[in-house]
Amino acid sequence: MIRRRIGFLRSFSTHSLPVLRPKQRFHPSEIFKCNQTILRLAKLGRVKEARQVFDSTPQKDSVTWNSMISGYIENGCLKEANSLFHSFEGKNVRSWTIMLNGFFKYGFIDEARMVFESMPERNIVSWNSLVSGYVQNGDLRKAREMFNKMPERNVSSWNSMITGYCRCGMMKEAREMFHRMEDELRNSVTWMVLVSGYVEVKEYREAWGVFLMMLRSVTRPDQALLVVGLSAASGLNDLDLVLCLRTVGIKLGLEDDVVVGTAVLNSYTRNESLDEAIKFFELMPRKNEYTWTTMITAFSHYSKLNDAVALYERCGEKSVAIRTTMMSVYAQQGNIYEARRIFDEIVNPDVITWNAMISGYAQNGLLEEAKDLFLRMPVRNPISWAAMISGFVQNGSNKEALDLFVELLKTGSIPNHWGFTSVLLACANDEDIEAGRQIHSLTIKSGAQNNSFVGNSLISMYAKCKQMEDVSQVFNAMRIRDTVSWNSVISGLLENCMLDEAINILKNMPNQDVVSWTAIISAYVRDGQGEDALKIFLDMLAVGIKPNYLTFTSLLSTCGNLAASKLGKQLHALIIKYGLSSFVCVCNSLISMYSKCGSVDGLHVFEDMPGRDIVTWNAVLTGCAQNGLGKEAVEIFEEMEATGVPPDEISFLGVLGACSHAGLVDQGRAYFISMTQDHGIKPSVYHYTCMVDLLGGAGLLSEAEALIQNMPVEADSAIWDALFTACKIHGNMKIGQRVAGRLLKMGHKDLLLRS
């Protein structure tokens, strides 16, 4: 079990390593060179090589020791860092502070506090590290206590506390701390943290108000402040404000600043203004790799793969980051071999690129390829392990995910929060409450439970395992409760059919968002309470929450089930108003809704779509089948094959059903044969039922009966009922009696009576 394999969490060793004594004097420049080499290797994750350089350096100064200790900490080797720290006889205040930060970084709060209390001397940097460490671990009460005890404070001290409150969504306390600061002490970071804090909790008007206050103050906005101002304007979905900030940028001489320009571009893409984003991108005088990746990602978001590829080809110098982005786009669109081609073109891929390729394979169900790449990686970081664990989970290999997590523990490394969240999802999927509790214990020992992502995953895990008391305990113990935390509790309650309790949580939620409202709407839809879902939707609009694409897909499903075409059209108008008509999944839902309502408007939506996926083609084919549009289905199916989209089982169900309704026997036969011969798809009983409907409708009853008798899958009552109905229509008593005997033997007398 996991509990028996977590030896790395035992007390850190404090025994001394042998101290190497210098045998010869080194020139300061040589020592400096060794120190830089250690730092460089550690930064690349090559910590063993860094230690070799450290051990082979005959003369070390305090920077050498501190560099090696920092290198260990940076690579998650906290045990080794602690051991080296205790063997260093010449520790200075920086050495102590590095170790203090290291313990805080990995959540060992008690050990960090002991280091601070043991320090022979402290300076303001040490005090700031203490306060910042408590802030990072979500213990704001202790952070504030230490802040109040500080013998002196500087702007970093104040900014740390404001940052902590903002991260926890405690904007009232952050604003109070901000006003307590002397005006002349505030710097651009202070303003930026406060504006960003309001943006993070989606209080965009407050964010914009603080930004305007900053503009009216003596502070001249710099590049970073203009960027957070653009974030506030984007949140308000006000492109006029974005234009105003572009004007401010020009007045400040930042019109050609690539960072500001990229932030403007990002504002357009976030507000679903792709056309404006394209125009702005083309006019940008300077572009960096983030500019290119932002635009490539935007095209991918709208399923415009060809445009993304064309833009990628335009890039002059394709950096590793740009190649990695295009590689990820190909992988997300299912073109994994193109993604691998780009990966192979990169001469020296960094660990981020390796991780992206592993994730790409995992997303496309190619676990063996992902594992092979993982084992071949020259350097792994915590994200590499998390990506592989997540890959197993995505593909339903939850046991393998747990095993790999144990292997990670055996290396002595501490999992990052992504590793914990992925393995907790594995426990949730298997409803393995025992393993989940052990990992929960591990998160407490490592301090990771204070991370909001881990806390939210614990809530989801316990909810999936139907342990609602544990959900309540985790939620109440969380130091940082963000919007996701509240939404996780709501989702957990809904999963356990506790709708009334979920609504109460929504009412008490400090910062409601579209996710929480959509979860409630979807729950009503799943329960068949469409009218209640629509009422909740109207309440959502009344409080000013903007619906997203998931909101509309749920509501369109209700309209389709109720055959409420008029209401569906009203929702369609709202979709256009909110700029969501370019989302492929929304268009797919519109096609399904119109088809269920017997309207041909679904075909118009299909024709106007900027991008299509396999779900789109299947939706329109199914719609044609439902409404007897056989010729249209044949044309669409042929168009589908012509565009290079391979049909799947559902595609053939759609086109065979359409042929059946329209009596297109020859086309139906051809598609049924092509399904196996050309596409390698084995027909299911549902495909055979479509063929029986088709043949039976055309009066080819003997052929239909022979098809049932010779098919390799077991016949169900539905397929015999289809043939029996055809026999009644065509008055074939001989075959009809045989079929009736079959149905009686299967115990389906009710079908005969109904027919």
**Residues 647-699: tens digit of each pLDDT:** 999 999 999 999 998 889 999 999 999 999 999 999 999 999 999 999 999 99
48 has pLDDT over 90: no
Contact 736, 708 (CB under 8 A): no
DSSP assignments along 593-624, one per residue? HHHHTT-THHHHHHHH-S---HHHHHHHHHHH
> Is 400 a member of any domain?
yes
> Is 487 a member of any domain?
no
The predicted pLDDT at position 593 comes to 94
| Number of other residues whose CB lies within 10 A of the CB of residue 513 | 17
Distance of alpha carbon 286 from alpha carbon 309, whole angstroms? 21
Q: Helix and strand tally (H, E) in the chain?
A: 45, 0
Q: How confident is the model at residue 429 (pLDDT cuts 50, 70, 90)?
A: very high
> Is 251 a member of any domain?
no
Q: How confident is the model at residue 405 (pLDDT cuts 50, 70, 90)?
A: very high
434 has pLDDT over 50: yes
**Residues 495-552: tens digit of each pLDDT:** 898 988 998 988 888 878 888 899 999 999 988 888 899 999 999 999 888 899 999 9
30 has pLDDT over 80: no
The predicted pLDDT at position 582 comes to 83
The predicted pLDDT at position 5 comes to 37
Flag the least confident range among 240-254, 370-384, 575-589. 240-254
The predicted pLDDT at position 234 comes to 82
> Is 436 a member of any domain?
yes
Give CB contacts under 8 A, 24+ apart, made by 59-63.
Answer: 59/22, 59/24, 59/25, 59/26, 59/31, 60/20, 60/22, 60/31, 61/31, 61/35, 62/90, 62/91, 62/92, 62/94, 62/95, 63/31, 63/35
Contact 383, 418 (CB under 8 A): yes
Q: How confident is the model at residue 755 (pLDDT cuts 50, 70, 90)?
A: low
Q: What is the mean pLDDT of residues 589-599?
A: 93
Question: Angle 223-235/188-200 helices, nearest 10 degrees?
Answer: 20
Contact 440, 433 (CB under 8 A): no
Mean pLDDT of the chain, nearest integer: 86
| Rg of the chain, C-alpha, whole Å | 31
The predicted pLDDT at position 27 comes to 58
16 has pLDDT over 50: no
> Is 459 a member of any domain?
yes
Q: What is the DSSP letter of 23?
A: S
CATH of the domain at 448: 1.25.40
The predicted pLDDT at position 11 comes to 40
**Residues 639-649: tens digit of each pLDDT:** 998 988 889 99
Q: Model-level pTM?
A: 0.61
- For 591, 665, 669, 675, 678, the CA distances from 653, given in Å and listed in that order, are 17, 15, 13, 10, 16
**Residues 145-196: tens digit of each pLDDT:** 999 999 999 999 999 999 888 877 778 889 999 999 988 888 888 998 999 8
Tokens 């079929």 map to which residue? 739
In the chain, % helix, strand, coil (3-state, to 5) comes to 75, 0, 25
3 has pLDDT over 80: no
The predicted pLDDT at position 676 comes to 92
Contact 629, 606 (CB under 8 A): no
Q: How confident is the model at residue 623 (pLDDT cuts 50, 70, 90)?
A: very high
Q: What is the mean pLDDT of residues 596-617?
A: 90
Structurally, the chain folds into a number of domains equal to 1
Letter string b/e over residues 541-573, b meaning 16 or more CB atoms within 10 A of that residue's CB = eeeebebbbbbbbbbbbbbbebebbebbbebbe
> Is 438 a member of any domain?
yes
The predicted pLDDT at position 656 comes to 93
Domain that holds residue 444: 380-480
Q: How confident is the model at residue 304 (pLDDT cuts 50, 70, 90)?
A: confident
> Is 157 a member of any domain?
no
> Is 552 a member of any domain?
no
Flag the least confident range among 216-220, 286-290, 710-714, 723-727. 216-220
Q: How confident is the model at residue 4 (pLDDT cuts 50, 70, 90)?
A: very low
